[in-house]
């Protein structure tokens, strides 16, 4: 895949254990950026390990280095995580990962997005996701989004 912005090229493939350290850092830094209302001291590198436990994971790579990932719980077609390295946001990497994930899960699919994460909500809406319901979590109020 390719972005028209600054000619960034990337591929999407299955997660390999050697991706772990890079993805831990992407997950940590991306959450700090996306969730500034959370206490950054509570966010840890090890959170990534728990976030992908027993989930399917695809990784986006540029120059053989991970630049983002998507993780989902296949039995429910529930997307749990979509995080892109801050330097690669806005280049289409998230869209590619989401498309590749949906090709594997099928539809309908769901995900939760924190209501305060306006950029993510705008992104998902642009990809055809719609609000199904809302709820509360320890990190804040969220919307349950779905796509048919």
Task: Give residue 112's pLDDT.
Answer: 96
Indicate the Cα dihedral angle 15, 1, 109, 80, nearest 10°.
Answer: 40
- Using CA atoms, how far residue 50 sits from 19, 62, 84, 104, 144, in Å, is 15, 25, 18, 22, 21
Task: Give residue 4's pLDDT.
Answer: 47
| Greatest C-alpha distance within the chain | 40
Q: Which residues of the chain have pLDDT under 50?
A: 2-4
What's this model's pTM, rounded to 2 decimal places? 0.92
Enumerate the β-bridge partners of residue 136. 141
């Amino acid at each position: 895949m390719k972005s028209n912005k600054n000619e960034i090229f990337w591929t999407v493939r299955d997660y390999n254990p050697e991706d772990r350290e890079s993805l831990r850092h992407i997950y940590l830094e991306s959450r700090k950026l996306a969730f500034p209302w959370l206490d950054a001291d509570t966010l840890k590198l090890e959170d990534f390990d728990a976030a992908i436990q027993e989930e399917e994971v695809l990784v986006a790579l540029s120059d053989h280095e991970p630049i983002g990932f998507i993780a989902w719980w296949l039995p429910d077609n529930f997307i749990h995580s979509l995080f892109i390295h801050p330097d690669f946001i806005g280049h289409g990497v998230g869209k590619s990962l989401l498309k590749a994930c949906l090709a594997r899960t099928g539809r309908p699919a769901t995900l939760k997005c924190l209501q305060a994460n306006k950029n993510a909500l705008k992104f998902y809406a642009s990809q055809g996701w719609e609000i199904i319901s809302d709820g509360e979590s320890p990190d804040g109020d969220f919307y349950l989004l779905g796509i048919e």
